Amino acid sequence: MPRIPCFLCAQELRQKQDKNGKAYFICNPCGVQIFVRGSQGLENLKELIATLRERDFPFREHARILHEVQAVLTEIRGLKKEIKELDSVLNIFSEDEYKDRTRELLQARIEHLLSRLEQIAKGNVRS
What pLDDT, on the 0 to 100 scale, is given for residue 30? 85
Task: Give the range of the structural domain holding residue 67, as residue numbers without chain letter.
Answer: 58-122
Q: Are residues 50 and 64 in the same domain?
A: no
Q: Are residues 85 and 30 in the same domain?
A: no
Q: What does the pLDDT look like over 32-84, one tens digit per residue?
A: 999 988 888 888 888 888 887 777 656 667 777 888 888 899 999 999 998 88
What pLDDT, on the 0 to 100 scale, is given for residue 16? 92
**Residue 72 belongs to some domain of the structure:** yes
**Residue 28 belongs to some domain of the structure:** yes
What pLDDT, on the 0 to 100 scale, is given for residue 53? 77
What pLDDT, on the 0 to 100 scale, is given for residue 126? 54
Sign of CA dihedral 97, 114, 65, 28: positive
Claim: this prediction has a pTM higher than 0.85: no
Contacts of 10 (CB under 8 A, 6+ apart): 62, 63, 66, 67
Asked whether the predicted pLDDT for residue 127 surpasses 50, the reply is no
Q: Could you tell me which residue, 124 or 122, shows the higher pLDDT? A: 122
Q: Are residues 45 and 97 in the same domain?
A: no
- Count the domains in the chain: 2
Q: What does the pLDDT look like over 80-117, one tens digit per residue?
A: 998 888 766 545 555 677 788 888 999 999 999 999 99
**Residue 86 belongs to some domain of the structure:** yes
Q: Are residues 99 and 50 in the same domain?
A: no
**Residue 48 belongs to some domain of the structure:** yes
**Residue 127 belongs to some domain of the structure:** no
Supply the CATH number for residue 40's domain: 2.20.25
Contacts of 11 (CB under 8 A, 6+ apart): 5, 27, 29, 30
**Residue 11 belongs to some domain of the structure:** yes
What pLDDT, on the 0 to 100 scale, is given for residue 7? 80
